[in-house]
Structure 1
Amino acid sequence: MTEATEVFERKAGKIDATALGHWLDTHHAPGHGELPVLELLTGGSQNTLYLVQRGQHRMVLRMPGPRADTARLDGLLREIRLVRGLKGTDVPHAELVAADDSGAVLGKPFYVMAEIDGWSPMGGGWQAPFDTDLGARRDLAFELVTGAALLGRVDWRAQGLEGFGRPDGFHERQVDRWLNFLAAYQVRELPGLDVAADWLRRNRPIHYTPGIMHGDYQFANVMFAHGSPADLAAIVDWEMTTIGDPLLDLGWCLLGYDGEEPSSDGFYLDMSGMPSRSELLEHYEKISGLSTENIDYYLVLANFKLGIVLEKTYAASVTHPGKVDAEVAQAMGAMIPGLITTAADLARSLPDRG
């Protein structure tokens, strides 16, 4: 057991490995009869992650942290429902092994999923060979878009996800929902916010095809298989997933693009060598069957929404100094106005259908 695991267990209470092992056996999990060995993993900001080893078999357990409130518990139950719905689909994800909705086994709801052998760009940037081979790196963007397209085309009703979200009136709710979210913690003016909001209200799509929408779909929330060619191993972090407009996930894929090409300063990764926007749109349409002709609306909304979501972390660093890593807060503090300005500038440059 690692020192980090011991520290966590002193604060949160030790997981009963024997009870977990019996429960895994009843759900026919790999490693039947083996006592699980648990190791606390890093990287779970909203929930706690454990590596679960039973003999040669490795899985990952995800559960709310020790101070989780009712909203966090409800959020995990939504995740459980989602990963059940994704089981058997062609969406790259960590497939569900088993889940306990009741909390009876370990005191809180949790689920166990397959371990993904892969890497994230957030773990130090592009992994070799993508750090130097721009041709190989280019395919990472196509893989990212492939994941969004596969997710958006899932027959969510057939997968038991009826009622998982409220697709009716999705776009009518977006602007006011996120402005109300911002109002709860706003600590500074964000120039261009009203310009983007007004344009979005006037130019929202009249018709759209509802689908599963990740809600935070970007390089930060996917994992790739090691080595080349590029291969999307899993989409991760489903906290913001709902039934909405999957084209918004495509908009998030294109954050950091300055028109047809990625901007020279990137977004949070070096985007040199990436495909053009048109190439990615064509790729998405081919897989999803959805039209991207109104992509500019989704780009405005993506920049608007991400700026507001990130502002919550920045605001916490202002109102509760020390709660947020100072370096992270400084980086976000500089990035967020740029996102809102990009949304406003793009809105000003587009035809107004209102």
Structure 2
Amino acid sequence: MSPVDTVDLDALARWVRAEGIGDEIGEVSALAGGTQNVVLRIELDGRPVVLRRPPEHPRPTSDRTIAREITVLGGLAGTDVPHPGLIAGCTDTSVLGVVFYLMELVDGVNPGEEVTAAQRGDAALRHGQGLAMARALARLGALDPAERGLDVLRKPGSFLAKQVPQWLRHLEGYREFPDWEPGGLPDVELVAGWLEEHRPPDAPPGVMHGDFHLNNVMLARAAPRVAAIVDWEMCTVGDPLLDLGWLMVTWPEEPRSMDVGGPLARLGGLPTRAELVAAYAGAGGREPAHVDWYTALAGFKLGIVLEGTWARASAGQAPPEIGQRLHDHAVGLLALAGRIARGRWSVLD
């Protein structure tokens, strides 16, 4: 089924009229669609908007995930954090059969997919856009979750103390796939032990994106600016410095752990990790004294998450080529975390 065919346009038209946000649904085309979510460009009374809904075959958590995004985008409204503007969300599954929402169409480019002529020809622009990402992340982490109505995303207990045990249990759960080799990731126990031994004290809770890297932003076409941070499905309330660590471990600078940033990364001219950390701190971000620890935690967590596709592929439940690619990324992420744990590399080197 085409992504466009996953939406009953007559039902959608009735809903937008009932909500008072439009009258006529015009041309519809797919922006993205597949196993994660369906994203459609829709002409609403002649203006382009974006509809986001779960995939054709939703997972058990799909509606809850989209509802979380509605909550997050609503909470970000009126802040200086670049994000797609929420038009309206619908948690009544009787309308389209799933939770969905409409948001503003962002004028920008995803650096993991394309670059503009201005980006291609101007290294200073690319450098400035990288720094703008760090500053946008600092603004996100500075938000008060309770003030923005986002404290509902917070779970009780110490966020940092839960991380290593949680992700070790997650990794252990892959044993249900009989052909998965649990020894395929390097330095898991080493990194886990180092993270527990060097864990920083808990800080006041803040808003986290949860998956912040070059492929999850839209950059302005010809200005050193982030047009929007996108894909908020992993947003939570915890320690925002983990987002900074996530940016560090995925950043396309040697040593590299995975392939992120697409054509923009291949052009080069991006800031160093040390420059990103300085920009983050200078924009009011939290004190990054323990940035190596957060980078190691990000590599540990993301590596274990990506390994899940390899485990499923080993049981014939995911394409083997995708499983292998993500396993290679997981190995790179854990290897980089291992270097930090051994004292052989630092973000600020």
Q: Same fold (TM over 0.5)?
A: yes
Q: Aligned runs of 1:122-201 on 2, under 5 Å?
A: 122-124=112-114, 126-166=115-155, 168-185=157-174, 187-188=180-181, 189=183, 190-201=185-196
Helix, strand or coil: the match of 1:201? Answer: helix
Residue 113 (str. 1) matches residue 111 (str. 2): no
Partner of 2:31: 41
Distance in 1 of aligned mates of 2:276 and 2:338: 23
Helix, strand or coil: the match of 2:140? Answer: helix
Residue 23 (str. 1) matches residue 19 (str. 2): no
CA contact (8 A) 1:167 1:210 kept: no
Deviation at 1:182, TM superposition (A): 1.6
Size of the aligned set, in residue pairs, is 334
Distance in 1 of aligned mates of 2:247 and 2:218: 14
Percent identity between the aligned chains? 34
Partner of 1:337: 331
CA contact (8 A) 1:175 1:201 kept: yes
Alpha-carbon distance change, 278 to 41 in structure 1, aligned in 2, over 3 angstroms: closer
CA contact (8 A) 1:145 1:284 kept: yes
Helix, strand or coil: the match of 1:88? Answer: coil
Distance in 2 of aligned mates of 1:337 and 1:33: 51
Distance in 2 of aligned mates of 1:264 and 1:191: 16
Residue among 194, 200, 212 paired with 1:217: 212
Distance in 1 of aligned mates of 2:127 and 2:160: 32
Q: Deviations over 1:60-102 (max 9, x none)?
A: 1111223213322112221211111111111111111011112
Distance in 2 of aligned mates of 1:335 and 1:112: 33
Residue 302 (str. 1) matches residue 288 (str. 2): no
Q: Deviations over 1:175-221 (max 9, x none)?
A: 01111112222523112010000011111111313111111100011
Helix, strand or coil: the match of 1:234? Answer: strand
Letter in 2 for 1:69: R
CA contact (8 A) 2:209 2:232 kept: yes
Q: Deviations over 1:109-137 (max 9, x none)?
A: 1111111122112214x443333532221
Letter in 2 for 1:336: A
Distance in 1 of aligned mates of 2:16 and 2:295: 44
Q: TM-score scaled to structure 1, two decimals? A: 0.86
Partner of 1:290: 286
Distance in 2 of aligned mates of 1:78 and 1:273: 35
Partner of 1:263: 254
Letter in 2 for 1:52: I
Unaligned runs of 5+ in 2: none
Distance in 2 of aligned mates of 1:90 and 1:325: 42
Residue 66 (str. 1) matches residue 64 (str. 2): no
Letter in 1 for 2:87: V
CA contact (8 A) 1:52 1:58 kept: yes
Letter in 1 for 2:13: G
Unaligned runs of 5+ in 1: none
Distance in 2 of aligned mates of 1:219 and 1:210: 24
Distance in 2 of aligned mates of 1:289 and 1:149: 4
Deviation at 1:342, TM superposition (A): 1.1
Deviation at 1:276, TM superposition (A): 3.0
Alpha-carbon distance change, 305 to 339 in structure 1, aligned in 2, over 3 angstroms: same
Distance in 1 of aligned mates of 2:188 and 2:274: 27
Partner of 1:236: 230
Distance in 2 of aligned mates of 1:248 and 1:44: 28
Q: TM-score scaled to structure 2, two decimals? A: 0.87
Alpha-carbon distance change, 153 to 43 in structure 1, aligned in 2, over 3 angstroms: farther
Alpha-carbon distance change, 172 to 264 in structure 1, aligned in 2, over 3 angstroms: closer
Residue 314 (str. 1) matches residue 306 (str. 2): no
Alpha-carbon distance change, 257 to 61 in structure 1, aligned in 2, over 3 angstroms: closer
Distance in 2 of aligned mates of 1:47 and 1:151: 24
Distance in 2 of aligned mates of 1:89 and 1:273: 30
Distance in 2 of aligned mates of 1:142 and 1:167: 33
Distance in 1 of aligned mates of 2:272 and 2:220: 23
Alpha-carbon distance change, 347 to 168 in structure 1, aligned in 2, over 3 angstroms: same
CA contact (8 A) 2:108 2:227 kept: yes
Deviation at 1:44, TM superposition (A): 5.9
Letter in 1 for 2:111: P
Alpha-carbon distance change, 95 to 42 in structure 1, aligned in 2, over 3 angstroms: same
Deviation at 1:266, TM superposition (A): 7.5
